[in-house]
Amino acid sequence: MGSMVATVESIGRDVAGQDTVRLRCPPASLPRPGQPMLACQQASSSALVHTLYPIAITAEAFTCRLPQGERWLPADQVGLRGPIGPGFQPPIAARRWLLVAPHGDAGPLLPLMTRGLDTGVALTLAGHPPVAGLPPEVEVATEPEGALAWADYVALLADRQTLAATMEWLDRHAPLGSPPAELLLLDRLACGFGACGACSLRTGHGWRWLCQDGPVFALGELRG
Partner 1 sequence: MDPFLPWVSCVAKPLLLSSGKRELEVDPPVMNAAGTLGWHNEADGWLELRHLGAFITNPLSHHRRSPAANAGVAETAGGFVLHSGLPNPGLTAGLRKPPPANPPLPRIVHLIGDPAELETMILETEAHEHVAAIEIGLERPGPALLQVVGRLSQSAELPVVVRLGLDEPDDLFLEAAEAGCRALSFGPAHGRVARPEGPFGGRLYGPAMLPLMLAKLARLRAYVSLPLIAAGGIGDRQSAHAMLDAGADGIQLDFILWLDPSAVLPL
- Say which residues have a Cβ less than 8 Å from residue 92's Cβ, sequence separation at least 6: none
Select from 90, 139, 142 the least CA-distant residue to 116.
90
At closest approach, how far in Å is the CB of 224 from partner 1? 15
Q: Is 77 in the site for partner 1 (CB under 8 A)?
A: no
Min dist. Cβ of residue 167 to partner 1 (A): 17
**Judged by CB, which is closer to partner 1: 12, or 194?**
194
Residue 42 makes contact with partner 1 by CB under 8 A: yes
Q: Residues binding partner 1: what is the number (CB under 8 A)?
A: 31
Told to check if 104 binds partner 1 by CB under 8 A, we report: no
Report, in Å, the least distance between residue 207 CB and partner 1. 6
Rounded to whole angstroms, the Cα distance separating 149 from 27 reads: 37
Among 25-33, 46-54, 167-175, 213-221, the segment contacting partner 1 (CB under 8 A): 46-54
Residue 194 touches partner 1, criterion: CB under 8 A: yes
Which residues have a Cβ under 8 Å from the Cβ of 217 and sit 6 or more positions away?
Answer: 182, 183, 185, 201, 203, 208
The C-alpha torsion from 45 through 46 and 47 to 53, rounded to 10°, is -130
Q: Does 94 bind partner 1 (CB under 8 A)?
A: no
Q: Report if residue 132 touches partner 1, rule: CB under 8 A.
A: no
| DSSP states along 90-131 | --TT--EEEEE-TTS--GGGHHHHHHHHHHT-EEEEE-SSPP
The Cα 116–Cα 91 span in angstroms is 12
CB of 194 to partner 1, least distance (A): 5
Distance in Å, CB of 79 to partner 1, minimum: 6
- Under rule CB under 8 A, residue 222 binds partner 1: no
44 is a contact residue toward partner 1 (CB under 8 A) = yes
Q: Do 173 and 100 touch, CB atoms closer than 8 A?
A: no
Binding mask 173-192 for partner 1 (x = CB under 8 A): --------------xxxxxx
18, HSE (Cβ side, Cα atoms, 13 Å) = 15
Residues 140-169 that bind partner 1 (CB under 8 A): 160-161
202 part of the interface to partner 1, by CB under 8 A: yes
Residues near partner 1, by CB under 8 A? 1-3, 40-42, 44, 46-49, 79, 81, 160-161, 187-200, 202, 207
